[in-house]
Structure 1
Amino acid sequence: MGGNTDNPVRDTAGLAAAAARASKKGPPPVHLWNPPFCGDLDIEIRKDGSWFYLGTPIGRPELVRLFASILKLEDDAYFLVTPVEKVGIRVQDAPFIAVDAEIGQDIVFTTNVGDVVTAGPDNAIVLRGTSDAPRPYVHVRRGLFALIDRKTFYRLAEAAAPDIDGRMILRSGGTNFPLEP
């Protein structure tokens, strides 16, 4: 995944190294970084949550997790950012997939890149789409959402209870989430 080191936009190895340095002390503070835009990088996150570089799947899960940690959303566009550079990438739907949930007093989701998030006022469960084809998501961080996979959504639907109006809802973090678009 290396390349011409004179052009940081085409050098994913350099981007990965910068991200690794920035994340040594916990999650990178990408919300504080505003580096100059360096161009687009041919990275795409597909609808199933898989990451591709130059049309080839990125096969190293630790590299995907590293890139996911420096993902930033600005004005409906996705970027990988380090303290010194910002490159654009493509995202077909949501950048993450919620692949599991612990359903109890609260609902705790785990994503395909290892994020763990508790649904609540700061991490809403939302439905998009139509009543015939709802697409459930959970907010992960800084405007980034995870599509809730089918098996997890079915488990959520089984755990839902009617509210006083008869709508099916989930409750987590002191917040009600309707399971209707």
Structure 2
Amino acid sequence: MPYTPPPELAALTLAELAEAVAARRLPPVEQWTPDREGDSLMRIAADGTWYHDGGPITRPAMVRAFSGLLLREADGRHYLVTPHEKLAIAVEDAAFIATDMDVRHDEAGRPVLAFRLNTDDVVLAGPDHPLRVAGTADTPAFYLGVRHSTEARLNRSTYGQLIDHALAVSGPETLAPETLAVESGGMRFPLLPGT
């Protein structure tokens, strides 16, 4: 059966976004302790393209399936995990790319930032999915926690959406760069590296 991508973020309510998150049934990779380890011969490029044995994986459904098996260990290395194998996968930057962002509000009126990933996953920023900024003030890099310690790097248009939102809620005429921040899921996330 062919994979059908979900509708655009802007077309979904917060309840529908939460339902999309819950509907993505993921295997319990963090509970598996396979005996066999090896190399997957796979790589995720900085632009989010997945490769196997040097060639790109062109089927989105395959990438989506493999992405559900990913975890990152404390030393920063990524693995594809099944009940029987733990295979190393090279990741040049982040395992995912955030390709879109939209703002919703919960029942209490608090903002919730929803991100669409290159795997069509939806991630709601908050305590379990924090935003972090790396790099320098001149060339920042924005990341979103996804699952099992993996992250998504926000692509250029998505971090543009994030900064536009931060400026809209903060008031650009009185904003000092070191105070630039957004809120989501009850948490505040600074948007300047090192803050």
Q: Which TM-score tier does this pair reach, normalised by the shorter chain? A: 0.7 to 0.9
Superposed CA RMSD: 1.8
Superposition pairs for residues 94-173 of structure 1, below 5 Å?
Answer: 94-104=94-104, 105-160=111-166, 161-162=169-170, 166=176, 167-173=179-185
> Contact conserved, 1:95 with 1:145, CA < 8 A, in 2?
yes
Q: Give the C-alpha shift of residue 82 in structure 1.
A: 0.5
Q: Which amino acid aligns with 2:103?
A: I
Contact 2:116 2:122 in 1 (8 A): yes
Deviation at 1:37? 3.6
Alpha-carbon distance between aligned partners in 2 of 1:101 and 1:123, rounded to the nearest angstrom = 14
One-letter amino acid matched to 1:97: I
4+ residue runs over 6 A deviation: none
Shift of 1:88: 0.8
Mapped partners of 1:178, 1:158: distance in 2 = 14
- What CA distance in whole angstroms lies between the structure 2 residues aligned with 1:174 and 1:72? 26
Cα distance in 2 for residues equivalent to 1:76 and 1:93:
10
Distance 2:99 2:135 in 1: 20
- Show the counterpart of 1:52: 51
The aligned residue for residue 28 of structure 1 is 27
Identity of aligned residues (%): 41
CA distance in 1, matches of 2:187, 2:41: 39
Tell me how far apart the structure 2 counterparts of residues 157 and 69 of structure 1 sit (CA, whole Å).
Answer: 29
| TM-score normalised by the chain length of structure 1 | 0.82
Deviations 1:120-158 (A, max 9, x none): 111111100111110001001121100011101111111
Q: Extract unaligned runs of 5+ from structure 2.
A: 1-23, 105-110
TM-score when normalising by structure 2: 0.76
Contact 1:103 1:156 in 2 (8 A): no
What count of residue pairs does the alignment treat as equivalent?
A: 157
Q: Aligned partner of 1:169: which letter?
A: A
